[in-house]
Amino acid sequence: MFKFSFCEARKIPKGLNILRCWSSSSPYAAAKPHQLHQSPQELNAQEKNVVEKLFSGLLLSNRACLAQSITLTESTHPRKCLQARLLLRKALQHCKKCQEENKSYNFRIGLSGPPGAGKSTFLETLGKYLTSQGEKIAVLAVDPSSTTSGGSLMGDKTRMQELSRDMNAFIRPSPSSGHLGGVTRSTNEAIIMCETAGYRTVFVETVGVGQSEYEVADMVDMFVVLIPPAGGDELQGLKRGIMEHSHLVVVNKADGDLVQAALRMQYEYTSSLKFMRPISPNWKPKVMKVSSLTSEGIPELWAVMQEFHQTMVKTGELFETRRKQQRVWMWNYITQHIMQVFREDPRVKSHIQEMEKNVEEGLMTAGQAAEILLRRFVPDTVLS
Ligand SMILES: Nc1nc2c(ncn2[C@@H]2O[C@H](COP(=O)(O)OP(=O)(O)OP(=O)(O)O)[C@@H](O)[C@H]2O)c(=O)[nH]1
């Protein structure tokens, strides 16, 4: 379940002696301590061969290899984790080389919006438009429900049927089970795999549930929100948060009887934008309307998306943002990992409830309770 433990734990600061908190009840129990120190160099010839084959397949843009590569990065098996590390290293080197040599930059687009806004229809229409222009596109779905329920809401539905048959499109539903770092870590790594396979435009779609949309905003270059023309209170509440994070708001279903409503929405959202601090110094967020049924507005929308991408490349903001995102994610994963190890540690676990109660009832300050728990975890730690 916790891929991160085997692959990354040795990067954890020395002061937190993770090896000492091993327990049979811990999700890390499956890993032998020595596995933490293994590196891809220790893979045997056969295992390395699998990685070589996948990598060659990626370079040939083979969709089956791409799917297998992503599955490998989602695996929690210790040996597969090592293989995934090797493959990711090769993939990253390849992407870096391509960027430097060709000066061509991939485009990562996040798409969010309330259920029923028409995200799959929109992606199918925009995707088909792009593949008809010779683009290769990938769609990665992020479904937060899959982390908690073990199932995937979106995976159950047959979505984007036509696009999935298109040879220039790759669609990957949400991972069916979460591991440490949640769906976000797999998605970050899936993006690299897609780019290595030559899918220059990658869409990351999320159902608009709470935190997930903000997480997606932190792994893409452009964040787009799709909304239906008539919004209830829920949409009003979302408005501010959405606007603060998005580069583009798209009012969908601007067709038939809904044209007037879509126009009104466009106007309303455009006026609210005037009161918000723009997300980027180089881009003024826009509100556009499209119909995913009739394709009206789709070419214009893509033109604006490209304008955004070019502006970000030209000003250097694209690279700065990506660098920042990678730093943030690294620390997110470390924090999540350490928190998980901490909470699962038997010396800590049995005291958490008691300490929480003490704090709630005012018998102890939060700082005192935290110190007691931390000392149980790392007895010789120096607390500031
Ligand atoms: N009139 C009109 N209907 C649309 C348009 N786009 C989508 N729809 C309809 O809206 C409904 C929801 O579309 P989906 O694409 O399934 O929406 P979604 O946002 O992916 O929905 P979830 O999977 O629930 O998140 C479907 O009945 C679509 O046919 C559009 O541009 N115009």
Give tens-digit pLDDT for 265-278: 888 888 877 777 77
Ligand 1 closest atom vs CA 252: 31
Say which residue, 107 or 215, is predicted with more confidence: 107
| pLDDT of the residue at 115 | 82
Tell the residue nearest (CA) to atom 2 of ligand 1. 253
pLDDT tens digits along 176-220:
444 444 556 778 889 999 999 999 999 999 865 566 667 788 889
Q: Is the pLDDT of residue 383 over 80?
A: no
Q: Is the ipTM of this complex over 0.90?
A: yes
| pLDDT of the residue at 366 | 93
| pLDDT of the residue at 361 | 94
Q: Is the pLDDT of residue 329 over 90?
A: no
SS3 210: coil
pLDDT tens digits along 22-33:
333 333 333 433
Helices marked H in the chain: 3-8, 45-59, 63-74, 78-102, 119-132, 145-149, 153-156, 161-165, 182-196, 211-217, 233-245, 259-273, 298-315, 317-344, 346-360, 366-377
CA of 149 to the centre of ligand 1 (A): 24
Band of the pLDDT at 348, cuts 50, 70, 90? very high
CA of 233 to the centre of ligand 1 (A): 19
Ligand 1 binding pocket includes 119 (Cβ within 6 Å) = yes
| pLDDT of the residue at 94 | 92
Q: Which of the residue ranges 50-54, 55-59, 76-80, 245-249 would you say has the lowest mean pLDDT?
A: 76-80
| pLDDT of the residue at 96 | 87
Residues 173/74, Cβ–Cβ less than 8 Å: no
Written as one string, the DSSP assignment of 126-184 is HHHHHHHTT--EEEEEE-THHHHHSS-HHHHS---HHHHH-TTEEEEPPPSS--TTHHH
Share of the chain above pLDDT 70, in %: 76
Band of the pLDDT at 144, cuts 50, 70, 90? low
The Cα–Cα gap between 286 and 37 comes to 49
| pLDDT of the residue at 194 | 96
Tell the residue nearest (CA) to atom 21 of ligand 1. 116
| pLDDT of the residue at 132 | 95
CA of 118 to the centre of ligand 1 (A): 3
* Best probe residue, ligand 1, of 159, 206, 255, 292 (max atoms within 8 Å of C-beta): 292
| pLDDT of the residue at 208 | 52
